[in-house]
Structure 1
Amino acid sequence: MAPSFGRSISFPLSPARASRPRAAAYHVRSVSLPCRSHPLLSHLCTHISAVRSWVADPISASKGLAHLDALHAALAELLLLPEAISALKHGSATSTCLLDGFLVLADAHGAFQEAVVEINAHASEAQAALRRGDDSRLASAVRSLRRAEKDLARLAASVQTAIKFPTATLSTSTSAAEVEMSGVLAEAVASAACASAAVFSAVEAVSASATAALASKKTVTSSLMSLVKSGKAAAASDEDRLEMLQTVESCVAEMESRSDRVFRSILRTRVALLNIQTQTCC
């Protein structure tokens, strides 16, 4: 646990006073004024900015989960501070809203873990069917993949509800410092929700590109259709389809290893909030 300490900003004395012999002997003296924001609050804000930057350009779902993991770690440290505890105690409605937001995140990430396991199994089934030339088995695997992709799309939509939970009652805090703390906590939940939705959508997109290539010529993707019209390719080859399925498996493997850490971090954060709320009620 990081110690709670006051930061300060130092300003040099005026040139007239600094020019005195005694002042010169002590080099440059200064006057210290208190600075409100705690270093851990700034640390959390840095991770919120990193998450927001990734959401604006979600290149890698794995990197998105890494940002989420770091965000929750910084949030867990902040919730140990007396300033954060005080803000949540004086704003019990805010604490309840945060708990609701983290419940939505926990449910979504738990369901996400189940979805990626299913996608991995269906992608392996599709590869086996493709290698053996078993069209009926391949069609069944494609249908299963599409159902899993729809589940991910629903998760991406549902997790967005966590964005609006924490912001409704920030005015219940009793001081400017508590309003600042509550606002950053609300922004952390909102950022985590946006990033979670982007991660779910990114995995869905990787899987959807593979199922589109596995489908019949009537359902081939628009990019492949443009290649057909230009005469550069008639359709994706079996080698291309296998490579796309392997990409899905690789993506899902990264998700499985990282998503569990994020899920556990969300649960720990919610437990910390519950503990603060319990202390408030006692």
Structure 2
Amino acid sequence: MAAASFHARSNSLPARSHPLISEIDEQICRLRQSQAASTSSSSSIGHNLNSLQVVYDCVDQLFQLSSTQQALINDQKCFNELLDGSLRLLDLCNTAKDALSQMKESVAELQSAIRRRQGGMEGETRRYLKSRKTVIKAIQKVLKGMENKKSTSSNNVETLSMLKEAESAVVKVLECLLAFISQTSSKPSSWSLFKRVASASSENEFADVDASLKTNKSKASSENEFAEVDASLKINKSSEEIQLHLKNLQPCIQDLEEGVENLFRRLIKTRVSILNIHNL
């Protein structure tokens, strides 16, 4: 009797035709099409972050179904993978949040220095670029580490397989976001995702600020009084360009921060749902 009861429950998994499964599948397909059709930009990444929020609203509803809960109870390996994966996604979100927060603070400090115009901008420029270097180094380390953490699960249950696909979609979008933040005006490094983003013909507000700061810095040194006047005029023009790029970067960071924070909250909710299943 126990065996028959177990068999009946295992057959009650949501089929592909289940509205939640269909919705998740459709959203992930749209997300993939969006990533394939557009180059990386703050607006496209923001759009993808919003799409992930819709996906995980459905995912959380899926975790509330008794059939999904039973499937995870019956498949301990998949359950552990999803639990570990949820923590990995939260760590990745935290990395993005920290990077954006640090860049927002650096942008505010640089804008303040430009407004004051006291003792030139060289010191603040160095501090900003140093902060950028720290952020980029931290992101590169995370992205390289992600290459060794791809899921190898071959679970054939459609519900569980769809949950793994949703997790994979989050990883790809957050990896793209981190690579976008890391892009500079200099030669890209060798790691694959960063190279793809940096070589794309898209606008990048972070790289624009880097380029204008480095251009401004290179114009500041001369031993010829006439040349110094010419350089100072060019520096003033460059300062205006820097201000423009900083003005564009500020709302970009704000929008991305909001997108990541909203996704983070949904991922927290999903992890709580997984842990609750463990206590059933």
Provide the TM-score with structure 2 as the length reference. Answer: 0.71
Between the aligned partners of 1:201 and 1:80, the Cα distance in structure 2 is 34
What percent identity do the matched residue pairs reach?
Answer: 25
Which of the pair has more CA radius of gyration? 1
Select the residue among 15, 21, 26 that pairs with 1:41: 21
Q: CA deviation at 1:137?
A: 2.2
1:188 maps to 2:175: no
Residue 86 of structure 2 corresponds to residue 93 of structure 1: no
Q: Taking structure 1 as reference, are residues 36 and 69 closer, same or farther at Cα in structure 2, changes over 3 Å only?
A: closer
Q: What is the alpha-carbon distance in structure 2 between the residues aligned to residue 256 and residue 237 of structure 1?
A: 28
1:134 to 1:219, Cα distance in 2 relative to 1, 3 A: closer
**Shift of the alpha carbon at 1:157?**
4.0
Could you list the runs of 5+ residues in structure 2 that have no partner in the other structure?
A: 1-14, 184-204, 220-233
1:66 aligns with 2:65: no
The amino acid of 2:137's aligned partner reads K
1:260 alignment partner in structure 2: 261
User: CA shift at 1:99, angstroms?
Assistant: 1.0
**For the structure 1 residues 160 and 63, does the alpha-carbon distance in structure 2 shift closer, same or farther, using more than 3 Å as the test?**
farther
- Equivalent of 1:113 in 91, 94, 97: 97
Maintained 8 Å contact 1:113/1:256: yes
- Matching residue of 2:279: 278
Q: Select 2:132's aligned residue among 145, 157, 164.
A: 145
Contact conserved, 1:126 with 1:142, CA < 8 A, in 2?
A: no
> Residues of 2 paired with 1:219 and 1:160: CA distance?
37
State the SS of the aligned residue for 1:168: coil
Q: Deviations over 1:65-101 (max 9, x none)?
A: 1112111111111111222222212211001001111
- Superposed, 1:115-134 pairs within 5 Å as 115-131=99-115, 132=117, 133-134=120-121
Gaps of 5+ in 1: 1-34, 172-178, 221-233
SS state of the match for residue 149, structure 1?
Answer: helix
Higher RCO (Cα < 8 Å, 6 or more apart): 2
Which whole-Å CA distance do the structure 2 matches of 1:219 and 1:74 have between them?
Answer: 52
Cα drift, residue 161 of structure 1 = 5.3
What are the residue-to-residue correspondences of 1:178-217 with 2, within 5 Å?
Answer: 179-205=157-183, 206-216=205-215
Q: Which structure shows the higher strand fraction?
A: 1
After superposition, the Cα gap between the structure-2 partners of 1:118 and 1:275, relative to the gap in structure 1 and judged at 3 Å, is same
RMSD (Å) for aligned C-alpha atoms: 2.5
When the two structures are superposed, what TM-score results if normalisation uses the length of structure 1?
A: 0.71
For 1:196 and 1:208, the matched residues in 2 are separated by: 18
Tell me which amino acid in the other structure corresponds to 1:123: V
Q: CA deviation at 1:102?
A: 1.2
Letter in 1 for 2:85: G
Are residues 218 and 98 of structure 1, via their aligned partners in 2, closer, same or farther at CA, if it must alter by over 3 Å?
A: same
Q: 1:99 to 1:219 in 2, by over 3 A?
A: farther
Q: How many residues align?
A: 223
Cα distance in structure 1, aligned partners of 2:62 and 2:85: 17
Structure-2 separation of matches of 1:218 and 1:238: 10
Matched-pair contact (CA < 8 Å) for 2:143–2:175 = yes
Shift of 1:36: 5.7
Contact 2:216 2:239 in 1 (8 A): no
Question: Please, which moves more after superposition, 200-209 or 264-273?
Answer: 200-209
Counterpart CA distance in 2 for 1:54 and 1:244 is: 26
Could you tell me which residue of structure 2 aligns to residue 7 of structure 1?
A: none
Distance 1:130 1:182, change over 3 A: same
Write the letter of the residue equivalent to 1:51: L
Shift in CA distance, 129/217, structure 1 to aligned 2, threshold 3 Å: closer
